[in-house]
Amino acid sequence: MRNLHYGLIGFSAYAYAIRFRGLLPTNVDWIFRDAIGDVAGFDSTANYLGWEFFRRGAFLVWPVGRSTLLGPEPGASIAMTDSLPLLGIPVKYLTWWTDQPLQYFGVWILLCFVLQALFAGRILQKFISSHVAVLTAVVLFPLMPFYLARIGVHTPISGHWTLLAAISLLFSTRLSWWPWLLIVVLAIFTQPYLGAMVLVVFAARCAGSLFENRNEWRGVITSVATVVSAAGIAAFQAGLLVFGSGSLGTDNVGDFSANLLSLIDPEYDSPLMFNPNWSETGLIRNATDGVYQYEGFGYVGAGVVSLALIALLIWSARSRIRLLVLVLTTVTIISVSESSGIHGSSLIALAALVAVTCGGLAKLGTHRSQRLCLALTLVVSLLLAVTNRVTIGSQEFSYYWPGFLVEALGVIRVTGRFIWLVAYLVVIMCVVFVCRVVNSRKVLLSVLLVSSLFQLVDIRGAVSSQRALLVQNRTPTGLEARLWESVGERYKKIEVVLPGPSPVIQNPGPGGDSTKYNDDFWFAKRVLWADMSEFAAVRGISLNAFYFGREPMESYAREGAKLRKVIMTNTYQDDTLYVFTDSALWNQAKTFRRDQDVVGLLDGIPIVAPNLRACTSCNFDDVVPVRPLGD
């Protein structure tokens, strides 16, 4: 019955924050947004179109997440388009009978709210005897700004309930491999970053088990081997390895990090992201951070900060010495803020969160091995989130990390997201500290109720902006020519020449490579993959280039070499439409054309349509002719 109550809290939070927008599976228009005016539109568009390519591809594939219609040979995967394999794979086999455009992301959002509250309740009920107080505190979790900020932008990774489920397992009396295996697999099939975070929590639990009883090493080794093996199998089946290990690593560890002020910073500073301010009251001020640190957004909300401050005041008021220390600390922080350039209220909020988190760990009342698990999770997650290029506000310093560690973390790349684990542990410890220092049940309930209501009031403006992402704000496709219908019926493949990450048709800007300038590329098209993908996906046409989570650069190079040979030798395939972004090869194609091929600009897109002139019912008026090189 308690679980039902927690689920109802999550559902109520969903009804308030989302208001059932985007829930209807046949409504896909809200997913598309301008991929130039709104960079976040890249992700939501790619998530949906990646699913449509996957669904309309081969029915039986291996691994089960492989997408046969998308990417260079031998294909991409539903995981590489971040299309939520956890739902995408089973839904493919449930909807094979229809060509109706469908999406499951709206249902996923509802499910995440319910599970977010469910697992939060299961954690908090271990420390709060009053069920009403637990329900009041649970409200905070589906109203976490850093959780809500992902909805409609990076919707699959809003499955933060997997993190809370993993944290709940830290309080288990013994290490059992099967629940960890289940949550790790679920997290990987949701989004690989969540899988990595759950594995960090699992590693901390294993360390705690060994600390508690060194004779448990055999059981720990068995659990590690089982869970890690399951994680590898899940990654393979979801399609995370479909591009090979070479596509996983990067060399920009530290770029997408978290700021040390992330927990009390209510606003992204990056112009690259949808950017609401998550503190409508303005009591928590914005702190300047780096251009890519939007990925480390971890603001916990003014309600959580107020909870920490109230708990700290109640605890300090019981001792004159503690009260004096609190006053002196506050005065010192205000003095430091004047010279640091960081607003005093922000530093006070951060200090309160740190103090209450430490107090919560001390007052858990659980076995010391469990406290060690929590502390390890907290410290490791924080180190990974801030990386060795530590920033606090606009100030930065660095320290040495060994090369092998940097190389290993290159697979993760966006390490700033580990701040979410830190944030959830901080919120949990705040609630634990409050329930330990407040003796009266009525006072405890009042404190939690005030904090939850304050959280609700403070984020309402940002929630409204976030909700607006789930309405029908569709950017019209750029493919308006009537000839596209004939193209869609005739060709089975679209080849971008040359394939690469997020291909776009435009001339180089000022300071760019002038040798790539082409008079036919005057049309500064919106991102090409968005239009081409939508056109191809709903018709079951394969496409060789896309906006992937990890780019198959080696496969692109091999595909590019084959396409160069095709263009240079005029050996076009009759079932393939060729779309050009390479100036030199386009000059070759339009100069040495074949009589039956259509060569020109269709809605500003340079195309070679092999043997299309043989189509007697096609209308070629929309094709803008181009002159051969030298004319």
More confidently predicted of 250 and 485: 485
Assess whether 440 and 518 both reside in one domain: no
Domain boundary pick from 409, 441, 469: 469
What distance in Å separates the CA atoms of residue 75 and residue 555, rounded to the nearest whole number? 10
Predicted confidence at residue 40, as pLDDT, reads 47
Tell me the one-letter amino acid at 18: I
Predicted confidence at residue 270, as pLDDT, reads 67
- In a domain? residue 41: no
The answer to whether residues 191 and 84 touch, using CB atoms and an 8 Å cutoff, is yes
Identify the band that residue 38 occupies on the pLDDT scale cut at 50, 70 and 90. Answer: very low
Dihedral of the CA atoms 236, 409, 116, 360 (nearest 10)? Answer: 140
Assess whether 428 and 525 both reside in one domain: no
The answer to whether residues 38 and 153 touch, using CB atoms and an 8 Å cutoff, is no
What distance in Å separates the CA atoms of residue 549 and residue 617, rounded to the nearest whole number? 40
Using only C-alpha atoms, the chain has a radius of gyration, in whole angstroms, of 27
Assess whether 319 and 172 both reside in one domain: yes
Contacts of 503 (CB under 8 A, 6+ apart): 496, 527, 528, 529, 545, 581
Cα–Cα distances in angstroms (integers) from residue 96 to residues 83, 91, 100, 231, in the given order? 17, 8, 10, 28
Assess whether 306 and 283 both reside in one domain: yes
53 pLDDT higher than 70:
yes
Assess whether 165 and 211 both reside in one domain: yes
Q: Which of 110-119, 173-182, 395-404, 408-417 has the highest mean pLDDT?
A: 110-119
- In a domain? residue 49: no
What distance in Å separates the CA atoms of residue 253 and residue 90, rounded to the nearest whole number? 34
Assess whether 446 and 496 both reside in one domain: no
- In a domain? residue 513: yes
Domain boundary pick from 469, 494, 519: 469
Predicted confidence at residue 562, as pLDDT, reads 95
- In a domain? residue 84: no
Q: How far is CA 280 from the centre of its chain?
A: 24
Number of neighbouring beta carbons within 10 Å of residue 354: 13
Assess whether 286 and 244 both reside in one domain: yes
Per-residue pLDDT, averaged over 60-72, amounts to 93
Domain count of the fold of the chain: 2
Reported as a single tens digit per residue, the pLDDT across 294-323 is 888 999 999 999 999 998 888 888 877 777
- In a domain? residue 64: no
Q: Which of 9-18, 492-501, 522-531 has the highest mean pLDDT?
A: 9-18
Predicted confidence at residue 631, as pLDDT, reads 63
Reported as a single tens digit per residue, the pLDDT across 222-255 is 999 999 999 999 999 999 999 876 556 566 676 7
Predicted confidence at residue 37, as pLDDT, reads 44
The answer to whether residues 202 and 459 touch, using CB atoms and an 8 Å cutoff, is no
- In a domain? residue 110: yes
Predicted confidence at residue 486, as pLDDT, reads 93
Q: Which residue in 28, 439, 380 sits closest to 197, CA to CA?
A: 380
335 pLDDT higher than 80:
no
Domain boundary pick from 469, 502, 520: 469
What is the DSSP pairing of strand 493-497 with strand 542-543? parallel
526 pLDDT higher than 90:
no
Predicted confidence at residue 125, as pLDDT, reads 93
Assess whether 511 and 455 both reside in one domain: no
Cα–Cα distances in angstroms (integers) from residue 503 to residues 23, 272, 546, 581, in the given order? 31, 19, 7, 7
Least confident of 72-81, 484-493, 507-516, 532-541: 507-516
Assess whether 541 and 438 both reside in one domain: no
What distance in Å separates the CA atoms of residue 302 and residue 308, rounded to the nearest whole number? 10
Predicted confidence at residue 239, as pLDDT, reads 93
Lookup: tokens for 202: 């699992």
Assess whether 603 and 549 both reside in one domain: yes
Could you report how far apart the first and last alpha carbons of the chain are, in Å? Answer: 79
Assess whether 537 and 463 both reside in one domain: no
The answer to whether residues 287 and 268 touch, using CB atoms and an 8 Å cutoff, is no
- In a domain? residue 26: no
Residue 152: which H helix or E strand, with range? none
Predicted confidence at residue 272, as pLDDT, reads 61
Identify the band that residue 41 occupies on the pLDDT scale cut at 50, 70 and 90. Answer: low
197 pLDDT higher than 50:
yes
Predicted confidence at residue 273, as pLDDT, reads 62
Number of neighbouring beta carbons within 10 Å of residue 523: 15
Predicted confidence at residue 522, as pLDDT, reads 63
Assess whether 135 and 184 both reside in one domain: yes
Q: Which domain holds residue 152?
A: 2-21+106-469
Per-residue pLDDT, averaged over 125-137, amounts to 91
Identify the band that residue 429 occupies on the pLDDT scale cut at 50, 70 and 90. Answer: very high
Q: What is the pTM of this model?
A: 0.93
372 pLDDT higher than 50:
yes
- In a domain? residue 290: yes
39 pLDDT higher than 70:
no
- Share of residues in the chain with pLDDT > 70 (%): 90
